């Protein structure tokens, strides 16, 4: 349709063109009858008024308005060196990991860092565990940071795999706790088999070495821990090389782990009073039309609530495309860095888009959605 044509044209050269077309397209989509996938009018409204409005006002203006330059701020989505901390400004980061999974900062350290950076809100989204959230929440209480409870799940069905972020759920929900424990058990079994493979390959790294990388507080041992252990023992020179040579899909140490289907994972998060958001859609291995189609059917059939349009490794073009997609489907927009500390030293906390954190308005929309689907469990009531 018209809008898709605009998207294609938007991939052309002049830097202002995608933004301009987004604005045109958002205008078009607001006067046409677009949000059919989720007929929930409220969600469409909040999607437009916050995510969409931000897209008009400040997310996608000309570079001069955003005040970034390719050298100091946004560099095409590929952050290649650690950046100095101060001065990233007010904003939020809805995607970060702690030592409870594969991050290198403890939950309290992460919260303190977010506070030092001046972030208004932070979501802790460890893989398969809520184990860092209690500590993060009490640290956030101490420093006065708005902490959003989160989790990151790997999901897969016949159409492929992606990561799902859950936000704002009830921390005490039994089904969620039980399912996460199952996932951790199956991950541990997978890790043990990876250890056997390392031995079979004659690599000088044991599971004790891997566990040492994860630290005592880790509820989850993940591939970055293997990567760091391989690096420490001189098998590879970097985490990236460890993934390239050993850990990525199809490589000698790669073993699939048991995961939920997107439908089950979304239902699980909804059942716990939370919302479900597709993480870093730009990293999903589908071309743009296939991904748009995938997101649309997840929204329609499985109840996907949103997509992480703002992400540290998205290009400006990716971001534009995902903001547009979210607006068209009436989905929430979230934004995060995917900060891991030492496990991904090139990804600084709070740097989400254009060298800056994500816009705070995104959290307002997210909370509005939470409140609309479960008034008893609104964040305000829980705090």
Which residues are near Mn ion by CB under 5 A?
Answer: 102, 152, 163, 279, 338
Instruction: Mention every residue, 6+ apart, whose C-beta is less than 8 A from residue 349.
Output: 93, 96, 110, 113, 114, 117, 119, 337, 339
Q: How far is the CB of 96 from Mn ion (least distance, A)?
A: 8
Q: How far is the CB of 283 from Mn ion (least distance, A)?
A: 7
Q: How far is the CB of 201 from Mn ion (least distance, A)?
A: 23
Among the listed residues 156, 131, 148, 128, the one whose alpha carbon sits nearest the alpha carbon of residue 278: 156
157 has which bridge partners? 160
Nearer to Mn ion, 96 or 327 (CB): 96
Q: Please list, residue by residue across 37-63, b when 16 or more beta carbons sit within 10 angstroms of its beta carbon and e when fewer do.
A: bbebeebbebbbebbbbbbeeebbbeb
Query: What is d(CA 210, CA 353) in angstroms, rounded to the nearest whole number?
Result: 33
Nearer to Mn ion, 18 or 336 (CB): 336
Residue whose beta carbon is closest to Mn ion: 163
Q: How far is the CB of 127 from Mn ion (least distance, A)?
A: 6
Query: What is d(CA 59, CA 316) in angstroms, rounded to the nearest whole number?
Result: 10
Count of all residues that appear for the chain in the document: 383
Q: How far is the CB of 371 from Mn ion (least distance, A)?
A: 26
- In three-state secondary structure terms, 166 is strand
Among the listed residues 353, 342, 368, the one whose alpha carbon sits nearest the alpha carbon of residue 89: 353
Nearer to Mn ion, 198 or 347 (CB): 347
Pull the structure tokens for residue 260: 């939920």
Nearer to Mn ion, 163 or 228 (CB): 163
- Provide the 10 A C-beta neighbour count for residue 311: 27
Nearer to Mn ion, 163 or 187 (CB): 163
Nearer to Mn ion, 340 or 367 (CB): 340
Q: How far is the CB of 113 from Mn ion (least distance, A)?
A: 16
Q: How far is the CB of 338 from Mn ion (least distance, A)?
A: 4
Nearer to Mn ion, 46 or 93 (CB): 93
Ramachandran quadrant class, 119 (left: phi over 0; alpha: psi -120 to 50; beta: rest): beta
- Provide the 10 A C-beta neighbour count for residue 145: 18
Pull the structure tokens for residue 248: 């990525």
């Amino acid at each position: 349709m018209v809008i898709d044509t605009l998207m294609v044209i938007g991939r052309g050269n002049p830097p202002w063109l995608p933004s301009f077309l987004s604005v045109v397209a958002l205008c078009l989509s607001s006067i046409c009858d677009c949000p059919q996938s989720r007929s929930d009018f409220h969600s469409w409204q909040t999607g437009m008024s916050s995510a969409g409005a931000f897209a008009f006002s400040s997310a996608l203006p000309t570079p001069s308005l955003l005040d970034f330059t390719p050298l100091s701020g946004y560099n095409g989505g590929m952050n290649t060196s650690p950046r100095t901390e101060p001065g990233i400004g007010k904003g939020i980061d809805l995607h970060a990991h702690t030592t409870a999974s594969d991050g290198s900062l403890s939950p309290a350290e992460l919260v303190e860092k977010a506070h030092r950076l001046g972030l208004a809100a932070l979501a802790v989204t460890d893989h398969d565990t809520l184990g860092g959230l209690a500590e993060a929440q009490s640290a956030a209480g101490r420093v006065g940071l708005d902490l959003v409870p989160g989790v990151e799940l790997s999901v897969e069905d016949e159409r492929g795999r992606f990561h799902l972020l859950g936000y704002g759920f009830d921390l005490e929900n039994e089904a969620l706790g039980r399912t996460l424990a199952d996932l951790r058990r199956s991950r541990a079994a997978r890790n043990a088999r990876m250890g056997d493979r390392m031995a079979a390959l004659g690599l000088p790294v044991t599971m004790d070495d891997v566990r040492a990388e994860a630290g005592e507080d880790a509820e989850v041992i993940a591939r970055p821990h293997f990567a760091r252990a391989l690096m420490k023992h001189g098998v590879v020179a970097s985490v990236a090389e460890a993934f390239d040579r050993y850990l990525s899909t199809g490589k000698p140490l790669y073993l699939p782990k048991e995961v939920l289907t997107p439908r089950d994972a979304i239902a699980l998060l909804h059942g716990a009073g939370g919302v479900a958001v597709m993480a870093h859609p730009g990293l999903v291995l589908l071309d743009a039309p296939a991904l748009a189609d995938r997101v649309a059917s997840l929204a329609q059939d499985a109840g996907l609530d949103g997509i992480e349009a703002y992400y540290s490794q998205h290009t400006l073009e990716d971001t534009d495309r995902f903001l547009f997609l979210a607006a068209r489907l009436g989905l929430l927009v979230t934004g995060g860095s995917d900060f891991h500390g030492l496990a991904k030293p090139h990804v600084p906390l709070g740097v989400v888009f254009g060298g800056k954190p994500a816009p705070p308005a995104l959290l307002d929309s997210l909370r509005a959605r939470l409140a609309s689907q479960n008034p008893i469990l609104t964040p305000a009531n829980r705090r």
